[in-house]
Amino acid sequence: MSMKELPGAPTGRPSASVRSEILPRAFDRWQPGIRAAVEEAEEDRTISIYDVIGYDYWTGEGVTARRIAAALRSLGPGDVTVNINSPGGDMFEGLAIYNLLREHKGEVTVKVLSLAASAASVIAMAGDTVQIARSGFLMIHNAWVIAAGNRNDLREIADWLEPFDAAMADIYVARTGMESAAVAKLMDAESWLGGSAAIEQGFADELLPSDQIGKGESKANANAARRIEAALRASGLPKTEAMRLISEFKTGTGDPSGSGEGDPTERGPAADFRSTAAIAASLTAIL
C-alpha cells in the first residue's frame, strides 16, 4: 500500500519566538529502554528512532531531520524499516522527517514498538506499511508550544498554529480515510490509541509480526484491506475516499472514529449496504 501520494507537510517555523515542546504526559508513558528484538538482523536496512524528535538541548541528543537524511543517504534506494519508540518533540523536525521518508525511493515499513506520540505519530504515517505492537500506543493531538508575550502576541501565535494543526490533520485523514472533523476531534481530545484501536481506525495496518503469531485471521484481514484499497485506487477512486469506504465497511458505520455529532453517524444495515455496494461497484469497474 503505497503512501507516496500522502500530502506534503510544511517544514518552516511560524515564528522564532515559538518553541515546540514535548507534552509532559508523553514523557510519563515513554519507556526509552524498549528496542527492536530483531534490530541486529536488520541493521543494514533499519533506522531507529528511540529518542525525542528534534535536538534535545538538555542531553545533547535527539532525532533530527539531518540525522535521518544522512541515514537514508547511507542506505541508498531500497526498502527500509523504521523502528519507533519516541515521546515526540519538535513538530517541525517531525514534519521534515515525515517528508524525507515519504520521498524515499523504496518501501518504508514503520514499526511502532511502544510509543509514537505527537511528532513521532506524524513520522509513523509516512510508512507504506505501519505495524504496531499490540501493547503499543499512538498519540495524536494539536501542536503544543511554549510561548511568551502579551495578549496580542498570544492571539497571533494561536492563529499561526492553525495551519500546522491542519497539516497534521491532513496527514491523518489521508492515512485513515476519516472525515476531517472526526480527526480534528481526536486531536482536540489528545487521543491515545492502543495497537488494536490504531489498526481499527486506520492509523496502522497490522500488528507487529511477533504479535501476529496465532493470529492469522487478523493478518489476513489487513492484507485483504490493502488489496481492496489497491483495487479501489486502480478504479480511479481517491485514496481518502477509498480508505473511508473500507473503514465504514469494516465497522458498519459512517463514523469510524466514534466522533459523535457533526460527523457521519448512521449505523446498521443501511450503512453496511451502501458501503458494500460502493466497494462492489468500484471493484466491478476494473474486472
The share of the chain scoring above pLDDT 90, in percent, equals 51
Residue 258 is predicted with a pLDDT of: 45
Cα angle 146, 147, 148 (rounded to 5 degrees) comes to 140
Model's pTM, two decimal places?
A: 0.67
User: What are the tens digits of pLDDT across the range 160-188?
Assistant: 889 999 999 999 999 999 999 999 999 99
The cell numbers describing 101, all together, are 521518508
Residue 219 is predicted with a pLDDT of: 53
In this structure, the strands spanning 137-140 and 191-194 are antiparallel
Q: Is the pLDDT of residue 266 over 60?
A: no
CATH number given to 1-213:
3.90.226.10
Residue 253 is predicted with a pLDDT of: 53
Residue 41 is predicted with a pLDDT of: 46
CA separation for the pair 282, 287 (Å, rounded):
9
In this structure, the strands spanning 191-194 and 206-207 are unpaired
Q: Could you tell me which residues come within 8 angstroms of residue 145 by beta carbon, excluding any fewer than 6 positions away?
A: 18, 19, 20, 21, 157, 161
57, 132, 166 from 34: Cα distances, Å: 23, 13, 31
Task: Compute the average pLDDT of residues 121-148.
Answer: 94
Residues of the chain with CATH 3.90.226.10: 1-213
User: What are the tens digits of pLDDT across the range 182-232?
Assistant: 999 999 999 999 999 999 999 999 999 988 755 445 555 666 676 677 777
User: What are the tens digits of pLDDT across the range 72-127?
Assistant: 999 999 999 999 999 999 998 999 999 999 999 999 999 999 999 999 999 999 99
Higher-confidence residue: 69 or 239?
Answer: 69
Q: String of b and e for 134-164 (b: at least 16 CB within 10 Å)?
A: eebbbbbbbbbbeeeeeeeeeebbeebbeeb
Residue 27 is predicted with a pLDDT of: 59
